Each structure stands twice: as C-alpha cells, then as structure tokens.
Structure 1
C-alpha cells in the first residue's frame, strides 16, 4: 500500500516546487552599486531594481539577467536560470576597475601594455591586484605614458582620463652617424635622436664632430611659428681644420687677407678647396691646400704647421736703401774722370760683371747677381745714372734687391721678371755699398 502511494507523492512534490518562483537576495560589495534587469533580446537596460541589495524573483519565461554597475568599475552581468536551484543569498563582487580613456589628436594611437587598442577613446579594464601601462602615440608628438594600478597600496585609478599631446617631437637623422647631438647645450648622445620641444618653447639643436663645421638649428613649438617637422636631417658636410702654427704669432692668410695669427679654425666648404698661406719674417713662407672633394685626401681635424728658418732672411739685413734712387753729389776737387773711376772701382768690388758702362752719359749697370735659397731666389744689381744739377757732378745710385718665392713651383730663372718683386732687405755681402760710395765721393 505504501509503495502504491510513492509516485503520487513525488508528483505533488514536483508540482509544488514548480508552482512557487524562487526569490533571491542579491548583494553587491559596494552599497551604491546599481542592479539593472536586462532585456532578454538585446541586453538593453529594462528595469532598475535598486542599489546595494535587491530581491530578484526568478521569472519562468525570462533569462533573469541582471547587470550590476558602479562608476569606475567594469559592469558585472549575472544570469539566474529558473530551472536551477540557487542559494537565496547571492553576493556579487565589483573588483575590476574601469577607466574611460580619451586622447587628442583624435588619430593618436592608444596602446595598452605595448598593444594598439584603438584611437580617440577606449575603455581600460584593470583586474584586481594588477596594473596596466597606457601610451598615447602619434608621429611628431612626444608620447604620453601613464600606469594605472588596481592595488590596495596604490593610487586609485580615475573614472575618466584625457590625454592631450601638446609637446612636439622631431626625429633627427644625423650624418656622419657618430656625430654628437645636443639640445639646449645638453648632450643627448651620438647618432639619430628624438628631439622633444615643449609647448610654448624653443630648442636649439647642435650637431658636432671633430673635423666638421657644427650644425645648429632652432625649432620652436609656439603659436604662430611654423609647425615643427616630424623628421629632419643634420648633414655635416663642410669640414673644419683647427690650424696652429710655430712660431705662434705667424700670420695666417687666405686669399691674400690675414685671418689670424698663430691659430685659426679653417672652414672648407663641400666640393671646394682652400689655400692657406703662413708668413713671418725670418721664416720660410708656408702654403698648403685643403680640399673637401671626392677622391681627394680628407682634411685633418687639426694641423700643426711648423715653419722653417729662412736662410735668405738670416743672410740679409733690413734696409731703407734697397730699391731707392739715392743721389750722391761729388765733392768739389774731384774731376769727372776721377769720380767715375772711383765709382766703377767700388761697384766692381761687389759685382763681378758690369753689363753696361757708358762714361759719356754717366750710365752703368751690373749684371744680376743671383743667390739661391731653399724658399726663394734673390737677385741683386746696381744701376748708376747722372744726377744733380749742372753746377755739380752727381750720380744717382739704385741698389735693386728682389725676391722670387719658389713655393714648390717650377724652377725660377733670373730672367723671369714677372716672378720677382722688390725686397726690403739687402744681402749682407752688398750691405755697405751705398755708404762706401757716399763716403768716397762726398
């Protein structure tokens, strides 16, 4: 009898269970969290149930999907199937932080832990006890970076955060590749560099390398100024030679113009050559060419030019009688024949060959006497003609002293008049000639 009633008991038990809807108490771990019942068809918000703790009656023909939200947290969606047995007390934890990240310019890329997530705006979800790094990047701008923590001992993430890229960045490509780059006088390193220009400011860029003329440029990030380029090139092409001389007060000339004494920073433009001349009394004149051209020897970064002592200088004396027509009156009592004889005798004591001798016109010239030195050729001669007035015998004597520089050129002969120029010195062996003539005839 008992077994015959068992199926009937089970039927009534199941009927009773299905006839009564379950009611659940939903409690969030934040008292201000909202509970929203969702539409079964599109998960849109259908009905706000309350905050903190709500009672949910499980409906027969519903998915019973509930969304729990709180600003600054990722929403949680729970679904309670009516056909399942649920504990009456349901606790929901909101522990994933949410940050609404926006960025300008709107085409700037937003990266999370190095991966591109989107542009303009994203939702950032930070799981409990974790952290994420956000970067906002756009070519031509300084990258903005921020780390968000969801940890008890760290700063609470904001609900919203906005990035505005304002500081500009220029990618500077440098040649030669080992040139040193500096921004506002602070070294940044060798080779290509990213130059940051803060909003409202200017940056002076310098690129240096020994043996090259410095590159310098000012880039501004100010309203009204040209927009900084995304990329720029700094090409060191003009060469720089730091010249020093010995003696340290030697004159340095370029193109016939003195540019310094003892030291000079010589700029050699690309595809050009520059000739430098070093001069100082008593030393051999020094000339050197520096070329900045393909297939030519590169100019050195520095060059020490030591001058050799000029033997022509040490073998001569400075004189204001050189290359000047000196009138020598003959004292009374000396006949023309006697004075001419004395004059000729003195000159032949210094010069072996007389080229022209004419007593009647009172004209005499010697041949050129040549002396060769390492740096130059010195030629010397005397020209005598009559001078003074008709009442007194007088001679005009001119001691010609001329120099032709060799400078490594082709050989110079005594007949190359265009290569010689007057020299304000007299070889020592001719020093005293004029004085002797004056002493014996006056």
Structure 2
C-alpha cells in the first residue's frame, strides 16, 4: 500500500510540473521577423524575445501575448492561454503587406478603392494576392493615384510612401454643353472638364464650337503667381460666321474698313448686329446683316456670298475725264457764234434737254440724264462755262458722272444729291463726248 501511494504522489507531481511549465516553439515565415512579448495591461512592448523563431514559456496569470513584426508587413499578435493545450511548434505567417501612407497638404483626403479612409497619414494593409488603389485629392489640386500589389509577379510595395499634391486643377464648366475643350492643343473632350496645371508651368485652355467665337484662357501654377481658381466658367456667347465670296478676291468691309479679301471670319458679339459689305469692280455690291440677338435668326456657321455682274459696270468705261473740268481752247479763225453753235450741237447730240443756256456768259448745263440698274442709279450731265483768258476764246467742259447705290432700297431719286457720289466711269453712250468737242473746236 505504501508503494502504491508513493507512485500516485509521484505521478501527480510530474503532471503538475508539466501543466505549469508548458513551453512552445514559435516560428515565423520570415527569418528576420521579430517576436515581442506584450504587457498585459496595455499591450505595450515588454520584451524582445528574438527573431525568426523563439521558445516561449507560458506564464501563469499572464495573457502570454506575443507580437510578430517585420517592416513592410502588418504585425500579427498571438495569445497563448496557459490553461490550454498547445502544439509544441506554432507557425506564424506574415503575408499582409503594410504601407505607411502620408500626404500633403495635410487636409487632403486619402481614399482606398474609392472610400475615404482619412487625411494626413494612414496605414494601408494589402492582403495576399490582392491589390488596392490609393487616391489622394483635394479641391483645386490634381489628384494622385497609385496601385499597390501584394502579388508574386508584381512590384513589391514600399514600406512607406509620401504623396505631395503640387499640380493644380481647375474644374471648367462649359456652355454650350457640347463645346470641345483642349489644353495646349490637346483635346480633352466635350463639356465640363478638369484642367490640370503642372507645378511651375502654365497651360492655355481653349473652348471651341462651330459657329461661336473661341474662348481662350491661360492658367498658371507658378510660385509668386495668383493661385488658379478651383472652378471657372467658359461661356461661348459671341457668334462666328465664316464668310467666303465669289469672286474670291472681293473686298470685305465692316464699318467702312476693309477687313479682308475673299474670306473673313466674322465675329458677331452677343446682343448686337454687324453689317458686312462685299464689293468688287464689275459686280453688284453685296450688303448683309448678321444678328446675335434673342428672337432673331441665328447667324449661319458659314456663308457663301456670290456676287452678280454689275450691268452699270459693263455699260460703262473707266475714264479720267469724268468729273474733271477740261479746258477746250477754240482755234483761231472760228467765230464765237459758230463755236457756240458747234458746242451746243455736239452736246444736244448726247443730251435731250438743256437746262440752262447763256451765250453771253458762255454758260450751259444739261438736265440730269438718269439710267437705272439693279444695283445703282447713274446720273450724268454736262456743265460748260467760259474758260481761258481774254486773248483767246475757250470753254471749260465738265462731264459729271455720279452713282447712288440702292443696297436693296428703291426710294432713291435723281434729286437726292446726298446719296450720289462721283463715279470714275462714264456710261458708254457718253464716251467720246469730250473728245468730239476737242476735235471740232480746237
């Protein structure tokens, strides 16, 4: 009995010693991973146990919490309750990557896969065989995006990464909504766009749409320059008409000034009208108004103005004798009465009505002879006055040739002197009048 009792006591003693002095071997999948024993009361570091693999003695009245760490990986915390039975060897795997992300400006938002995680700094954890997309953004700045992989065939994530937003961004709101936006000549698309302005640089932004005057603005992101706006508007309001003419060398005039020949890009400001005149010798002058006003017909994108042949031009000749006083001396031996008769006879051969005739003063005028054309009215008359000196009989003859443009109006009469201007041409039926007078009197 005493022997059996002794065996029982020995067995219980051995069992008790085994239960209260349990040791386990901890082994990490990285040889340089650190094992750190944690304090029970605040999980702070208590003692560094070693690297790669360590033997842990499970203490009574302790949580036996161990943290396994390695730079670039999410730390793993294990707890081994002494009252539980543990395998002699414990394998710990570190396979979730960790990247410490920081960002400037400090109030920039840090997003992971589209969700806002925080500002200034975050810890990014990438599970094995997965990837995450990080975006840092702030209004007025161009966002920065980066993808981090935890995959064997991809680039290993860094331990730390810092994002600095330096490029600016302007949200450009465009009207009309289908206008095209480009920066430095590169098309971004139609409608509202984000304009990126690299740090230390400027970009030229243009907004275009057929039939409208282009919008152009330069945004700069340079030290010392005013900051670009967070948002801006580009409203195309002034209209643009691309005018071409036939003939292709016709003069294009606006407000009395020549602005081009054959072609012109006409700008029509909002709430206004612009009158365009097309002219060329031998063709009917073309006048057209373009308006950019509410309740008015919109200007066309393009306009082809084809001029018609001017019959007044084809019915006349260019002459340097028009509207000029020509002195015609009477040859010696020709009596004044005969000279006057010849002169009157020549003039009445061209003009039916003489308005004023005074032989004594040598003054004669004809009535205006009027000829109507589609584009204008031509009026012609002759004025004769005494010329030369007292020693020789002479007459001053002036063939007056004037034109009044109709420009679509039909209420011009021969008496509207203010509407007529001297014309450097003579209707063909009066061509030769001056030459005949010179030939017969000289």
Common fold, TM-score beyond 0.5?
yes
The aligned counterpart of 2:119 is 119
If the length of structure 2 is used for normalisation, what is the TM-score? 0.93
Which moved further from structure 2: 54-63 or 117-126? 54-63
1:405 deviation in Å? 0.7
Measured in 1, the distance between the counterparts of 2:233 and 2:164 equals 27
Task: Report the 3-state secondary structure (helix = DSSP H, G, I; strand = E; otherwise coil) of the residue aligned with 1:357.
Answer: strand
Distance across 2 between alignment mates of 1:109 and 1:269: 44
Matches within 5 A, 1:9-20: 12=12, 16=16, 20=20
1:420, CA displacement in angstroms?
0.8
Aligned residue number for residue 248 of structure 2: 248
Say whether the 8 Å CA contact 2:20–2:60 is kept in structure 1.
no
Contact 2:101 2:160 in 1 (8 A): yes
Q: Which runs of 5+ in 2 are unaligned?
A: none
- Quote how far apart the aligned CAs of 1:217 are: 2.3
For residues 176-225 of structure 1, the C-alpha deviation after alignment (integer angstroms, 9 at most, x for no partner) is 22222222222222222222222222222222222222222222222222
Q: Residues of 1 paired with 2:326 and 2:157: CA distance?
A: 103
Is the contact between residue 104 and residue 164 of structure 2 (CA under 8 Å) also seen in structure 1? yes
How many residues were matched structurally?
A: 438
Within 5 Å, which residues of 2 pair with 1:228-247? Answer: 228-247=228-247
Distance 1:440 1:29 in 2: 129
The answer as to 2:46 corresponding to 1:46 is yes
* Aligned-partner Cα distance in 1 for 2:150–2:433: 107
Distance (whole Å) between structure 1 residues aligned to residue 393 and residue 44 of structure 2: 135
Decide which moves more: 31-40 or 310-319: 31-40
The match for 2:404 is 404
Counterparts in 2 of 1:47 and 1:314: CA distance versus 1, 3 Å: same
Q: How does 1:325-336 map to 2 (within 5 A)?
A: 325-336=325-336
- State the shift of 1:371 in Å: 0.7
Q: The residue matched to 2:392 in structure 1 has which SS?
A: coil
**Given the alignment of the two structures, is residue 381 of structure 1 paired with residue 415 of structure 2, yes or no?**
no
TM-score (norm 1): 0.93
Which residue matches 2:63? 63
SS at match of 1:163: strand
Q: Does 1:421 align with 2:396?
A: no
Residue 83 of structure 1 is matched in structure 2 by 83
Give distance in 2, aligned partners of 1:354 and 1:19: 149
Q: Counterpart of 2:272?
A: 272
Distance 2:265 2:188 in 1: 25
Q: Is the 8 A contact 2:385 2:396 kept in 1?
A: yes
Equivalence for 2:337: 337
Moved more, 86-95 or 414-423: 86-95
Partner of 2:187: 187
Tell me which residue corresponds to 1:292.
Answer: 292
How far apart, in 2, do the equivalents of 1:31 and 1:420 lie? Answer: 107
1-side partners of 2:142 and 2:317: how far apart? Answer: 72
**How much is the aligned-residue C-alpha RMSD, in angstroms?**
2.3
Kindly tell me: are residues 20 and 390 of structure 1, through their superposed partners in 2, closer, same or farther at Cα, counting changes over 3 Å? Answer: closer
Cα deviation, residue 402, structure 1: 1.0
CA deviations over 1:36-72 (Å, ceiling 9, x no partner)? 2222222222232222222222222222222222222
CA gap of 1:433–1:20, structure 2 versus 1, over 3 A, is: closer
Task: Indicate the residue corresponding to 1:141 in structure 2.
Answer: 141
Q: How many Å apart are 1:313 and its aligned residue?
A: 0.9
Secondary structure, aligned partner of 1:142: coil
Compared CA separation, residues 405 and 278, structure 1 to 2 (3 A): same
1:82 and 1:223 map into 2 onto residues whose CA distance is: 64
- In 1, the alpha carbon distance for the partners of 2:50 and 2:73 equals 17
Encode CA deviations 1:243-268: one digit per residue, 9 max, x unaligned: 21111111112222222221222222
Residue aligning to 2:152: 152
CA contact (8 A) 2:67 2:75 kept: yes
Alpha-carbon shift at residue 410 of structure 1 (Å): 4.6
| Of 250-259 and 398-407, the range deviating more from structure 2 | 250-259
Mean alpha-carbon deviation: is it higher for 292-301 or for 243-252?
292-301
Tell me the distance in 2 between the aligned counterparts of 1:83 and 1:18. 12
Query: 2:328 and 2:17 mapped to 1: Cα distance?
Result: 154
Partner SS, residue 436 of structure 2: helix
How far does residue 339 in structure 1 lie from its aligned partner after superposition? Answer: 2.2
Deviation for aligned residue 1:13: 7.9
Counterpart secondary structure, 2:377: strand
